Amino acid sequence: MTAPIFVAPPTSPVWFRALVWLAPLLLIVTAWIPDESAEKPLPVAGSVALTLLGVGLAALFVQLPRRLSYTLTDTGLRVSRFSGTFEWPYRELRMRRTDGGLGLKMGGVGLPGYHTGTYTFTGAGYQNVQAIASNTRGGLIVERGGTPYYLTPADPDAFAQALAARGVPVLD
């Protein structure tokens, strides 16, 4: 029996989402603006390449958040992200509720609706966490092998209850 857990919807500010989407848009648009002052104008192949790069970047921005998911299976917590899917056995997990959130990104991906990698942590108990999250706030910590992972299910309380029902201990 598997129980999908919905990921919290992203809550990035509108200005930040607009700024992120500006990068592929600028690649596409500026590739086709002629530069009259250039000695050698950009060949059409270069404009096509920049356009394809912009379209590919936009496609990546759309696909990244859609690949993020958590699923409770009979044997463990299955986590899917853009780079792959893995499953943690329940017996290896510990969980902790937190009011903290993600701070600065130290390595990984940080886009609206998709945060993976190492981040500083603003709550008590941890300096850094591994994020597999759709938001920077409103999540919980799942520890495995001493490593804290920050997850953001849509309903953290129900997620915590479901993990506890499967034998995952709650840390104070």
pLDDT at 98: 92
Residues 90-97, mean pLDDT to the nearest whole number: 95
**What does the alpha-carbon distance between residue 146 and residue 42 come to, in Å, rounded to a whole number?**
53
Q: Is the pLDDT of residue 68 over 90?
A: no
CA terminus-to-terminus distance, the chain: 29
- Higher-pLDDT residue of 68 and 39 is 68
Identify the domain containing residue 108 by its residue range.
1-171
Please give the tally of structural domains in the chain: 1
Region 130-139: mean pLDDT is 92
Tell me what the mean pLDDT of segment 25-43 comes to.
79
DSSP alpha helix (H) spans, 11-152: 14-30, 44-66
Instruction: Record the tokens describing residue 64, joined without a space.
Output: 């990244």
Mean of pLDDT over the chain:
86
